Structure 1
Amino acid sequence: MKNILKYSFIIFFLASGFIVNAQIPKSEKQYLIDFYKSTVGEQWQNTWNLKADPSSWYGVEISDGHVVSLKLYRNNLNGKIPNGISVLTNLKILNLSFNSLVGNLPKDLIELEKLQSLRLEMNKLGGTLPQDYSKMKNLEELSMFNNLFQGTIPSGIGQLINLKTLNLSSNYLEGSLPKSIENLVSLERLELFGNKLAGSIDIDLGRLINLKELILSYNQFEGDLPSSMASLSNLEFIQLQGNNFRSLNCLLRMKSKNLTVFDSDDEFLNMKFGNNEASRTHLVETKYEDIKRN
């Protein structure tokens, strides 16, 4: 009898511990509820039962008693992302892409120090981009293409020292590229096509030694392409067409042996490096990138 009571106590203790660990702070739960209401949760494709435990909510991942992932892509979200998201202090992944979100980004979004992936592409978000990214040292992916963002690309974006993907294509961004981009030495994909970016590119592209994709097409860039770009040996995709570059001659010395897609307004270089059919295909894939990676 004593052994039965002993084992019953152990089972109860372990079960109680599991329940405690599954719970999240009230502040995190309240933000999720605010988010649900702000984005018309009752009309989501996969909605939440607010009376159930948050661990059962679609797209919510909880670990060690905190929300670590919020994946609600292609879920018919409407409305705005509410301020207060910084209470999700352990959030690593935020994917709200392919929805109908509007308005500006939450002001405290840049305070998510553990965030690794931020995907907001294919929405109707607007306003200007945040200026300070000093707390987001762990961010590896920043994808916000096909939105309504305006203004310039802030120099603070160079603070994202671990960034591997930067995709701001198909917005209304203008001005020149900030020189701080050359600090993103881990960058593998730089995609900026279809904006109103202009001026010469005064960046030492040669510092981006891990760069595989460089897509600058359909902007208003001019002048000579930086000669250091020719030293990038890992480039696989290059799209430069639809600009006003004066010269791309530096690319004649390009060292990359992995190049599979090349497109520019220079027919000689297109013949030398390019595969036009593959270029057009990749442009479409970049603009309407699927979510299968998540």
Structure 2
Amino acid sequence: MKNITTLFLTILFSFSMFAKVSPSDKEALLKLYKATNGSQWITKWDLSLPVATWYGVKLEGEKVVSINLANNNLVGEIPSDIVNLGSLQELDLHKNQISGTIPSLIGSLKDLKILNLSFNKLSGIIPSSVCELSNLKDLELYMNALSGEIPMQIGALKQLEVLALYNNEITGQIPNSLYDLKTMKILLLSSNKLTGELSREVVHMTSLENFSLFDNKMNGQVPLELEKLNNLKEMNISYNMFNGSVSKSLASLDTLNMTMINDNGATVLLDVTTDKNSAIVSEE
């Protein structure tokens, strides 16, 4: 009986390996292979074998649901055809040499849950269509050369848990809609060119565990409401131009103890009070 079961599973596995992927999905994969110099990848695809055998590709039925080619020497640009993979749930191309821009119609990938294009050479803006990825939980675009502002409708991503945009050239203010994301656990915006104030609405981000604004150009007072984020374990908002006073407990939570840059470009520590209720905060 055991041998029969083993034989059945072997046959089933063989069928799954040689299952046909939809022509449109296969074409999109081939475009990605060609556009990123697939012949020079560390782990290459044997195009003579079924798509189910291709490294980093996961299928469900005839559809591609996951592409994970992280750290695989992809060089070139992401082809616009990638948006034809309508069932894609994960696209992980981090730590490669990908240049060019993020496809403007990336929002067409309605099932996408994970988008990781970090540690590449991408430039241009974050397309506003990214805000149409309603199932997205993890958006990582750090260590690129992205510019422009964070899309205003970023708050439409109601399931987003991770947003990592650090080490780019992103400008403008933090969109108000971002503060409405109660699911957000990790928010990393450090080493950009963000300006404006940190809103007291940050108090709505009740799931926040790791928060970094380090090395930007933000100003105004540090909202005391940060202390109400009970899940916050790690924070770094230093090397901005925040002013005023902060409580001792809030200062101790910051990795660099609230070290700021003043108008003369010198580093200063914010005044710390032992009574958090006496710290300067915005008027109710």
TM-score, scaled to structure 1: 0.80
**Unaligned stretches of 5+ residues in structure 2:** 1-7, 260-268, 276-284
State whether structure 2 residue 261 is matched by structure 1 residue 264. Answer: no
Distance 2:257 2:33 in 1: 43
Letter in 2 for 1:160: L
Letter in 2 for 1:152: E
**Secondary structure, aligned partner of 1:124:** coil
- What residue is the counterpart of 1:168 in the other structure? 165
CA displacement at 1:202 relative to structure 2: 2.8
Letter in 1 for 2:77: K
CA displacement at 1:261 relative to structure 2: 4.8
| Equivalent residue for 2:232, pick from 218, 231, 235 | 235
CA displacement at 1:134 relative to structure 2: 4.6
State whether structure 2 residue 25 is matched by structure 1 residue 31. Answer: no
Distance 1:88 1:26 in 2: 11
| Equivalent residue for 1:49, pick from 36, 40, 46 | 46
Q: Is residue 179–residue 203 contact of structure 1 (8 Å, CA) maintained in 2?
A: no
Letter in 2 for 1:245: F
**Secondary structure, aligned partner of 1:74:** coil
Distance 1:260 1:220 in 2: 17
CA displacement at 1:203 relative to structure 2: 4.9
- What residue is the counterpart of 2:78 in the other structure? 81
Distance 1:244 1:15 in 2: 62
- What residue is the counterpart of 1:156 in the other structure? 153
Distance 1:248 1:169 in 2: 26
| Equivalent residue for 1:103, pick from 91, 100, 117 | 100
Kindly provide the CA deviation profile for residues 230-256 of structure 1, in whole angstroms up to 9, marking residues without a partner as x. 21001011101111101352x4465x9
Distance 2:167 2:139 in 1: 14
Q: Is residue 76–residue 99 contact of structure 1 (8 Å, CA) maintained in 2?
A: yes
CA displacement at 1:92 relative to structure 2: 0.8
Kindly provide the CA deviation profile for residues 73-111 of structure 1, in whole angstroms up to 9, marking residues without a partner as x. 000000000002222111111110000000011122111
Distance 1:15 1:209, change over 3 A: closer
Distance 1:123 1:232, change over 3 A: same
**Unaligned stretches of 5+ residues in structure 1:** 1-10, 273-294
Distance 1:69 1:203, change over 3 A: farther
Q: Is residue 196–residue 220 contact of structure 1 (8 Å, CA) maintained in 2?
A: yes
**Secondary structure, aligned partner of 1:31:** helix
CA displacement at 1:35 relative to structure 2: 0.4
- Large movers: runs of 4+ above 6 Å: 14-17
- What residue is the counterpart of 2:184 in the other structure? 187
Letter in 2 for 1:206: V
Distance 1:242 1:218, change over 3 A: same
Aligned pair count reads: 257
- What residue is the counterpart of 1:277 in the other structure? none
State whether structure 2 residue 240 is matched by structure 1 residue 247. Answer: no
Kindly provide the CA deviation profile for residues 208-238 of structure 1, in whole angstroms up to 9, marking residues without a partner as x. 0000011000001110122322210010111
Kindly provide the CA deviation profile for residues 187-220 of structure 1, in whole angstroms up to 9, marking residues without a partner as x. 0011000001112123501000000011000001
State whether structure 2 residue 243 is matched by structure 1 residue 220. Answer: no
| Equivalent residue for 1:121, pick from 93, 97, 118 | 118
**Secondary structure, aligned partner of 1:101:** strand
* More displaced stretch, 83-92 vs 204-213: 83-92
Distance 1:121 1:159, change over 3 A: same
Letter in 1 for 2:199: D
Distance 1:206 1:105 in 2: 31
Distance 1:235 1:82 in 2: 38
**Secondary structure, aligned partner of 1:142:** strand
Q: Is residue 22–residue 62 contact of structure 1 (8 Å, CA) maintained in 2?
A: no
Q: Is residue 35–residue 82 contact of structure 1 (8 Å, CA) maintained in 2?
A: yes
